[in-house]
Amino acid sequence: MIKKLSALAIVISAIFAVSCKNEKTEERNHMRDAQKQVKPPVARKIPKELQIHGDLRIDNYYWLNERENPEVIQYLEKENAYYESMSSHTTKFQEDLFEEMKSRIKEEDESVPYRKNGFYYITRFKTGQQYPIYSRKKGNLEAPEEIIVDVNKMAEGHDYYALSGLNISPDNKIAAFGVDTLSRRQYDLRFKNLETKELFPEEIKNTTGNSAWASDNKTVFYARKDPVTLRSDKIYKHILGTDPSEDKLIYEEEDETFWTFVYRSKSNKYIIIGAYSTLTTEYRFLDAEDPDGDFSLIQERERGLEYSVAHFEDYFYVHTNKDGATNFKLMKTRVDKTQKENWEEVIPHRKDTLLEDISIFKEFIVLEERNNGLNKIRIRKWDDSEDFHLPFEEETYSASVYNNPEFDTNLIRYSYNSLTTPNSVIDFDVNSKTKEVKKEQEVLGGKFNKDNYRSERIWANARDGKKVAISLVYHKDTKPGSDTPLLLYGYGSYGSIVRDRFSSVRLSLLDRGFIYAIAHVRGGEYLGRSWYEDGKMFNKKNTFNDFADAASHLIDQGYTSADHLYAEGGSAGGLLMGAVINMNPELFNGVIAAVPFVDVVTTMLDESIPLTTGEFDEWGNPKEKDSYDYMLSYSPYDNIQAKEYPNLLVTTGLHDSQVQYFEPAKWVAKLRDMKTDNNKLLLYTNMDTGHGGASGRFDALKEVARDYAFLLDLEGITH
């Protein structure tokens, strides 16, 4: 009788569960039917004639550039309301995703301490808090903790708060740091007395947030930005305790295609001023013991000559592309003879290996290299007694030299992770060849096991015969096939490499059957400097073709199908998204374009817009007709057509300093007017932030949950 009752209870429970599920399905269907009746906002058309080189373009939405126009703000708010309405059926799901992603993160956490100038420095987080606490301990890790800055307390009352460039004076008594409360990357430079815990009264506006201390503990060098273009163009010298209006201008960069910065060498011997553009660099140096002295030029700028410097004993070590070293080489020159004719070769140029960076120590030098897309860490002793690489075994991974401020040590600290392996911070003893894992990222919740995931690297044939690498990761129970959802990520500009890194957040996709893939397209340096050169300027379309060909390859090889393929990219990667869906919209079911750079021609013609003048060597200068014609041929905004487009989620920030909010706003307005499909087109503008999104560690997760809910909803995955 008991067994019969149990069976009956099971049947009743099943019926109840099906009933609840049916009710939820009916509720969602009812909500979706209601959403179909919601009309998207329509931006007014105010034709603006834009003419150059005898070519006339009509921009109906140019007026959206007017940030102070109340109608512009109203339009953005209407788009936000439309987004909220059209995604309201995923609100609970977004909340669940957020809690799920948050639950994997160790809230009470701290960094591996590093030693500098007699102190151990630690960054830690407390449960429930959004921002870090920076602290230190004197002499050893058992010493009492001293709070340098508690960003949580400083951020109170602010919707956005970013602290940058924390920099301690040589006598360990004063902290300098930059604060941005608007998300425009315009930092107020502040100073804190670490003995009295009080802030100095001076507040230096509109800086990069970084600074360089002279040895006298009172002189600080810093870079200030142009208030309109946000180009860092001036280096000033500030004397602690004086009015910033009295600060002395030390260096001014008058070439509008160059930016400038200042730092102190790792050896602590010199203050160094750098100036850079896309193709050219130039450096000056000053003895840190003589802050009132004059800076000496290392090597005057020559178009196409790139170099950076590190100091060791009587030499500057020069990382450079001199004499056609496309993948860079290492040279050295005496501090008293710095011009390029005196440079001596240390590590020669290699066609198959990119020399990415160097770190100098007293007994050895560490080289970060990249070969066939994989990065290597190479250690070479100054006496040439040893020269070897650290061993890495996975097919795809990411390794990089970590924070190593100490000069006289036999230990190097590096980080290692992969698409399936959480990040580890590792100390390697150069003499004993032993390593110690100081910390491995914890993935909480008890469900994560790296053996449950698979990663691989495949190569797609691009239309011009080049091979494009694609890194993939997925749950071992996910079987690639025509019904398998796949998210393909890409960037492809500035030589930036999308590294094969672990993400605990990404597990929310992988555990729901998604494959995650990265297309290592031209425009990045994944396969060396030539891979970057072949995806910029008049080769820019290679970036878009590579991505489309990678997508086609994934479909052809049976990993997914066009009905289940998604794409994502941000900033210049948003340009990639816009170009690809103009070229091949049929390849994708949905696309996420974050802070997308989509109005290429108009932006690059306006030199008052931040970043424009410094990027002529990346994209071209449309004031020159050949560049104008080429850019116009791919600019996403200018090439929208009356045809079907994939489902689209476009995100931006009102205060974005890198890609102004009006680019995605105009793009969406024009797409609404011209596209012929009924697919989703959603624009979400964060009215409080800029290019990097939310500043708090948990608020940032809410943005990811929003994006993931968009993708999962398109797949019919609702829990």
Residue 663's alpha-carbon distances to 219, 432, 594, in angstroms, are 41, 55, 11
β-sheet with 296-299: strand ranges across:
259-264, 270-276, 281-287, 296-299
Beta strands in 550-622 (DSSP E): 565-570, 590-594
Q: What is the 3-state secondary structure (H, E, C) of 380-432?
A: EECCCCCEEECCCCCCCCEEEECCCCCCCCCEEEEEEECCCCCCEEEEEECCC
Rounded to whole angstroms, the Cα distance separating 375 from 320 reads 19
Tokens at residue 549, please? 């060909």
Tokens at residue 18, please? 């099906």
Rg, Å, the chain Cα set: 27
| Residue type at 54 in one-letter notation | G
Tokens at residue 57, please? 């373009």
Displacement of CA 446 from its chain's centroid (Å): 30
Residues 6+ apart with CB under 8 A from 39: none
124, 111 Cβ separation under 8 angstroms: yes
- Find the catalytic residue in 691, 695, 707, 713: 691
Displacement of CA 502 from its chain's centroid (Å): 15
- The dihedral built from the CA positions of residue 533, 536, 539 and 543, taken in this order, carries a sign that is positive
Backbone angles phi, psi at 685, to 5 degrees: -110, 120
Taking the C-alpha atoms of 13, 17, 22 and 25 in order, what is their torsion angle to the nearest 10 degrees?
170
- Find the catalytic residue in 398, 415, 471, 571: 571
Displacement of CA 423 from its chain's centroid (Å): 17
3-class SS of residue 255: coil
Rounded to whole angstroms, the Cα distance separating 509 from 592 reads 15
- Name the packing angle between helices 91-103 and 697-714 (round to 10°): 130
- The dihedral built from the CA positions of residue 582, 584, 586 and 587, taken in this order, carries a sign that is negative
Within 10 A of 450 (CB to CB), how many other CB atoms are there? Answer: 13
3-class SS of residue 8: helix
Residues 6+ apart with CB under 8 A from 526: 370, 373, 469, 497, 498, 520
- The helix (H) or strand (E) run that includes residue 103 is helix 91-103
Rounded to whole angstroms, the Cα distance separating 324 from 304 reads 9
Residue 541's alpha-carbon distances to 461, 524, 534, 536, 667, in angstroms, are 16, 13, 9, 8, 20
Rounded to whole angstroms, the Cα distance separating 531 from 519 reads 13
- Name residue 76's beta-bridge partners: none
Active site residue 656: yes
* Backbone torsion region of residue 7, taken as left when φ is above 0, otherwise alpha when ψ lies between -120 and 50, otherwise beta: alpha
328, 319 Cβ separation under 8 angstroms: yes
- Find the catalytic residue in 656, 695, 707, 713: 656
- Name the packing angle between helices 70-86 and 662-674 (round to 10°): 60
Rounded to whole angstroms, the Cα distance separating 669 from 560 reads 31
Active-site residue list: 571, 656, 691
